[in-house]
Structure 1
């Protein structure tokens, strides 16, 4: 069977006097190499996007991280210049894809902003500018032009015993590279917190009773997906479930491949 396709969220970026729909190379390469799937970038067309048609063509959904934050009005928060930038076109597109993907039982991997989108889509709330809250770690990236320094591991997490995440990476502490300014405040319906940082900030979640792989992580496994064991296990599990979903959709192709 050919490598199955995965829909990948994009950001709305202003460049050369116009808007572009794009995502960072590291997400695309992690999907292609670590998950072994074919990534397809989805434009932020909001209501003009035929989400049914998009998801008919893929076997999974990857929600990427971004410099933008989820618009506060979507979870009852207050708009603030300190919390900018926002990307309403991405919000409209990702939320529509999320709702339909979960309904269909498509495998889902949500990273950083993607985790926050997942929580809000399920009726949860976010806390913003978490570095300004007493007792919290500073989860922001250091101000450096060196990407390796910006995406370096910063703190440890520990998967809850018996959780889906623990089944992938074990329940011993591991170091992760969190780069974010907002985080889960109240988990949404069916959102299960599977790991947290030392300050209690949720770092991994799953969707209760999901029919396929459905997990969100607050850190950035895509950055080291080719050499970090934890990142590799996460993307491999996502890719395996994408292939399983494709095999259920196209059993005749699976049978032909098995005979080859």
Structure 2
């Protein structure tokens, strides 16, 4: 039975499991378990599978949520941002999942529902607002991703600089050292052209955009993995607390949805 004294958090994943890919499924489950560990004491959780739901189904599920998280996963299909296939390290794409998660960003922007995008989730945010992605970072191995992460589950650890007066800075104030934060990284793509309506809220030492946020809506994306089991869970608690602080009363959001 749903506990109505808690806010409801919709967590979007690409799929329940990748067929025939046990290693990928194992690391996804570790990240999911860590996120649940942080969320369940204060949130009711709805799990959403974007490849199964598509755009319409994902948006319908979002209507029951007070906040949304889009987790990591495979590369966004290049068709969504005007790119071409055949790039280095290209893996399998889940186009229907892309459409579902793009719809979640659209829903969040229209209704003022707080949304956090993690890794792929941040790239979905930039794509939804009309931005583009750099399809492969030269020298990503050892700087932004560990090529053996599926077997050893070790993320690359590096610092980021969080921008002053950003929503991200306000969210992470309890865990920042000055403006710096040590994060867990696992990505071979990054933001190329930042979409209109977004601003950068964190950079890596090499200039990689590590976090973005909407200027007008309660939407934040981080390129890293705060749900890494080896990371300090207080960072994840801070981000979840920020989602809670920015959520609007359900009736107010429902009225916005009807008007839209």
Answer yes or no: same fold by TM over 0.5.
yes
Count of residues in Structure 1 that have an aligned counterpart in Structure 2: 238
Identify which of 104, 107, 130 aligns with 2:111: 104
Structure 1: runs of 5 or more not aligned: 251-260
**Preserved contact between residue 221 and residue 231 of structure 1 (Cα < 8 Å):** yes
Query: Relative to structure 1, is the Cα distance of residues 189 and 137 closer, same or farther in structure 2, using a 3 angstrom cutoff?
Result: farther
1:219 is aligned to 2:224: yes
Identify which of 49, 67, 72 aligns with 2:78: 72
Superposition CA RMSD, Å: 3.0
Equivalent-residue separation in structure 2 for 1:70 and 1:192 (angstroms): 20
1:126 is aligned to 2:126: no
Identify which of 139, 142, 164 aligns with 1:161: 164
Alignment of 1:1-260 (within 5 A): 1-12=4-15, 13-15=17-19, 24-27=29-32, 29-31=34-36, 33-34=38-39, 36-43=42-49, 44-47=51-54, 49-66=56-73, 68-80=74-86, 82-132=89-139, 138-144=143-149, 145-147=151-153, 150-151=154-155, 154-170=157-173, 171-210=178-217, 213-224=218-229, 227-242=232-247, 244-246=248-250
Post-superposition offset of 1:246: 4.4
Deviation per residue, 1:17-73 (Å, 9 max, x gap): 9xxx9963533542553472122112323557434531221111110011x100112
Post-superposition offset of 1:249: 6.5
4+ runs deviating over 4 angstroms: 246-250
**Preserved contact between residue 46 and residue 93 of structure 1 (Cα < 8 Å):** yes
**Preserved contact between residue 33 and residue 226 of structure 1 (Cα < 8 Å):** no
Structure 2: runs of 5 or more not aligned: 255-260
Higher Cα radius of gyration? 1
Query: Relative to structure 1, is the Cα distance of residues 63 and 179 closer, same or farther in structure 2, using a 3 angstrom cutoff?
Result: same
Of 181-190 and 36-45, more deviation after overlay is shown by: 36-45
Residue of structure 1 equivalent to 2:257: none
**Structure 2-normalised TM-score?**
0.79
Query: Relative to structure 1, is the Cα distance of residues 61 and 48 closer, same or farther in structure 2, using a 3 angstrom cutoff?
Result: closer
**Structure 1-normalised TM-score?**
0.79
